[in-house]
Amino acid sequence: MCGILAVLGCGDESQGKRVHVLELSRRLKHRGPDWSGLHQVADNYLCHQRLAIIDPASGDQPLYNEDKSIAVAVNGEVYNHEELRARLSGHRFRTGSDCEVIAHLVSHPTHTSLLLLLDI
């Protein structure tokens, strides 16, 4: 099981805050010992401690859509990810992770109806 930490709107973008968020994320390492990731936008942080099951080589999280405007950290499995990738044929996927489709679904113009197709 993965570990996910989100710190939103903390009002501090300093290096000290980033170090503190990373320390908090490391405390979740027992939940996902295979990889850790951090995504920061202004004073918002998204951390992920990954337990690699599908695509252990390149499924590091957070996962992004093409222009990195959407970042997702997921603890779960998308059983129909191959079907969803086929529906999103115009999208460029960076990994083989089943969960990457979520970032692309959210950024798709018809995302509301497509999200209903998730088999998780």
Same-domain pairing of 11 and 68: no
Domain holding 44, by residue range, is 1-51
Same-domain pairing of 119 and 60: yes
3-class SS of residue 53: coil
Distance of CA 62 to the CA centre of its chain: 3
- Kindly give the residue spans of alpha helices, DSSP state H, lying in 1-120: 15-26, 81-87, 100-107, 111-115
**pLDDT(15) > 90:** no
Same-domain pairing of 67 and 120: yes
Same-domain pairing of 44 and 88: no
- What total number of domains does the chain contain? 2
Q: How confident is the model at residue 120, as a pLDDT?
A: 81
Q: Is 2 a catalytic residue?
A: yes
Q: How confident is the model at residue 93, as a pLDDT?
A: 95
Average pLDDT rounded to a whole number, residues 68-79: 90
Residues 65 and 100: their CA atoms lie apart, in Å, by 8
- Kindly give the residue spans of alpha helices, DSSP state H, lying in 7-73: 15-26
Same-domain pairing of 31 and 74: no
The pTM (predicted TM-score) of the whole model is: 0.76
Same-domain pairing of 67 and 80: yes
Same-domain pairing of 17 and 66: no
Residues 106 and 35: their CA atoms lie apart, in Å, by 24
Selecting among 2, 10, 47, 99, the annotated active-site residue is 2
Same-domain pairing of 62 and 119: yes
3-class SS of residue 78: coil
